[in-house]
Amino acid sequence: MTPIARTFPINADTQIPVVGFGTYLILPGDTAAAVSAAIESGYRHIDTAAVYDNEEGVGEGIRAGFEATRLAREDLFVTAKLWPGSRAWGEQPKSESETIAEFHASLVRLGLDYVDLYLIHSPHGGNQRIAQWQALLQLKQAGKTRSIGVSNFNQKHLEELRLAGLPMPEANQIELHPWSQKTELLAYMRENAIAPIAYSSLAPLSTWRVEAGQESAKTDTMKAENGIFAEMAAKYGVSEAQLLLRWGVQNGYAVLPKSLNRERMRQNLDVFGFSIDDEDMALIKTMDRGGGIAWSLGDPNSID
């Protein structure tokens, strides 16, 4: 088994832990306890976003986790995200100055002096996308964030930044799992040294987002394939979640599992003691269904 590093590089000075703790759909009242438990369980990357409405709880959980573990700030990697504003949702996309102001508002809510990675959460910024990216470049230069990137950007969105003559994002956080493998986008990202960060890695689980009461976008074909992952997991003596997370890190993606259960938290971190063999990796490759079921990147020929 070829060992996998516990961190992946984002830039020359910054490494991202391979397994992070996601906080999407954790209620504000549950967030602090969940984040503290995650840090105590061994997570060294916490991922949040302004639109999750739980940054205050994340900050409280980080402080409690530090107190329980005696970690220093530099021992923890924190990702935050700008909500860019969406005209489709009746919002005005944020300008360059508004982006910088929102970043500082996130720091206040988190109770931090800096974040390790700051992302534009989506390409909804439209004609303000360039201005928003320029704001992130300024924030990095000022030392307020160690690395910068985007989330849910497709190839056309990324190409728009390149054609503007701007430095490319250092990371793109996107939906990645066996049913949404995005091979063309990932090839483009490799060519441009953009690190992939996967979310919704556990989408194939029958319990995925059920506890949050969200409707599933899974097709009948996807549901019928659930048994394949159970069989593979049994073969390696691991849980289905561990199998799906291992598939991501084995492909070179940082992953962001979420759980409120301490035992599952620890289990989700334990993806380094086994390797999926070539035959099973090849089988999973045939299961790609194209677009995502958590987020659509839209028409790849559109940048709207």
The mean pLDDT of 67-81, rounded to a whole number, is 97
The mean pLDDT of 7-25, rounded to a whole number, is 97
150 vs 295: CA distance, rounded Å: 14
Q: What is the radius of gyration, based on Cα positions, of the chain?
A: 19
Three-state DSSP state, 15: strand
Angle of CA points 189, 191, 197, to nearest 5°:
25
The mean pLDDT of 3-29, rounded to a whole number, is 94
Domains in the chain with CATH codes: 7-285 (3.20.20.100)
User: Residue 297 pLDDT > 60, yes or no?
Assistant: no
Is the alpha carbon torsion for 94, 100, 103, 105 positive or negative? negative
116 vs 106: CA distance, rounded Å: 13
244 vs 229: CA distance, rounded Å: 8
Mean pLDDT of the chain: 92
pTM: 0.93
Q: Looking at residue 214, what is its pLDDT?
A: 47
Give catalytic status of residue 52 as yes or no.
Answer: yes
The pLDDT tens digits of the residues spanning 171-188 come to 999 999 999 999 999 999
The pLDDT tens digits of the residues spanning 271-287 come to 999 999 999 999 999 99
Smallest Cα–Cα separation from 185: which of 152, 149, 218? 152
> What are 154's two structure tokens?
């497709």
Active-site hit among 24, 43, 52, 253: 52
250 vs 217: CA distance, rounded Å: 26
Residue 104 marked as a ligand binder: no
More confident position, 218 or 102: 102
The pLDDT tens digits of the residues spanning 188-223 come to 999 999 999 999 999 998 776 545 444 555 555 555
